[in-house]
Amino acid sequence: MTEELNSYIENAPDLKGAIAGISIRETSNGELVYEHMGDVRLRPASNMKLLTSAAALSILGKDYTFQTKVLTTGQVHGQTLAGDLILKGQGDPTLLPTDFDDFAQKIKASGINTINGNIIGDDTWYDDVRLSQDMIWTDEDWYYGAQVSALTASPDRDYDAGSVIIEVVPGERGEKPSVRVIPETNYVKVKNIAMTTDAGVEEDLTLNRIHGGNTIIMEGTIPAGSPNVKEWMAVWEPTGYALRLFKQSLQNYGISWNGEIITGAAPNNAEVLFTHKSMPLSELLMPLMKLSNNTIAEMLVKEMGKVVQGEGRWETGLEVMEKELRGLGINTDNLVIRDGSGISHADLVPPNAITKLLYQIQDEDWVETYVDALPVAGVSERMVGGTLRERMDDLNVKAKTGTIMDVSTLSGYVQMENGRKLIFSIMLNNLIDEEDGPEIEDKLVEMIADQQKA
């Protein structure tokens, strides 16, 4: 194995001038069977989620759920609440528009039709720092760079919290395409200066959100008769987004109020009308790992800080996460951890540390949940194959992908035909084009899997 892998790394054209860190271990005893720059700290991209998920399962537990509470102040007289209605978010990234409808229905069922007070959104479970410390400004427009709030909403069951879907439908040639925001909300406005062109022409649409607001500029062209185009765009200030959806649901159920819609902290004497619980962490790991959901990863960091230290801050959460990783046998003095998702270009992790983590967790009672959440190579079902559904369909691989500019990574487990199972981490940095990475990684894993020695 050693000679073959070394030869490929030395001679692969796309690795000229790049850094390839590789670590391979036995699952049975953790023995290193191959390494190439295994102790060199490299940018992990979304392989960072392997560390975040392990720490979250260890600290929070696989049955952990996020709560959202609806509270009231004052008293209900007849069908009128003489006080405020409060929506308190506690970090749930899975709230959908239908959940806000459900909240409104329950409020109505409790006998409240009118509120003599304000509608308040409470996002104080976390701090008000919305973006992780190394977020690149060009990522802020997109779902993978969405802002983090304890009170937020997702447009669909991918649970990209803090984002909306912009759907573009081509018109007739020479006309503007039509645009739909999903979920329907006036919180986001689209300035449409795009045009429909001749059928068969390549689509060339550009969407950009104006910094500091929720106006999206759409320009460029879309060919007549082409399929609809969907883009997932981050909103500015997700607390306001969630509040706007809540307002729409209240109106749809005929609930009125005479106060303002504002943000603020629920008073200590507020009474809980009802509590909504998210899916357990074991299920939430599926979109996190299979689809490489950045926002969920970052919210888990803040949640770990809140649960352990009472502070829903990145700094606190990362301290808690590093301590837990040390408890799992990882030398965190050799790591640079700046976020939970790996979107930071300042994160640094050696391949040997990743394979050691994947070995160490095998005795944890949550390991099955963890491994099941990894993408499965070659399985077309999206929530099974995830980001590996179109890769290595002839191999038995469960692994986490990672991609940021100039970086491609892949770490997980490969099982050979003879039953031998190995742990691997492949970290490619300083690539000219990160899109070259998957082909290199797949070839390396194929070479690893071809080793039939027991």
Q: Could you list the active site residues? A: 46, 49, 292
From the list 370, 363, 342, the residue with the least C-alpha distance to 427 is 342
Residue 411, classified by CB atoms within 10 Å of its CB into exposed (0-12), middle (13-18) or buried (19+), is buried
Closest by Cα among 296, 288, 338 to 314: 338
The strand pairing partners of 167, in sequence order, are 180, 230
Alpha helices in 71-157 (DSSP H): 97-109
Q: How far is it, in rounded angstroms, from Cα 71 to Cα 246?
A: 14
First and final CA of the chain: distance in angstroms?
13
**What is the DSSP-derived secondary structure letter of residue 324?**
H
CB–CB of 216/190 below 8 Å?
yes
Q: Closest by alpha carbon to 44, among 342, 332, 337?
A: 342
What is the C-alpha separation between 424 and 431, in angstroms, rounded?
20
8 Å CB contact between 237 and 150: no
Parallel/antiparallel/unpaired status of strands 80-82 and 75-77:
antiparallel
Neighbouring-strand partners of residue 219: 206
The alpha carbon torsion through 255, 258, 264, 269 (nearest 10 deg) reads: -80
Closest CA to 303 of 293, 295, 292, 314: 314
CB of 272 closer than 8 Å to CB of 85: no
- Residue 451: CB atoms within 10 A of its CB come to 18
Strand residues in 252-391 grouped as ranges (E): 256-257, 261-263, 271-277
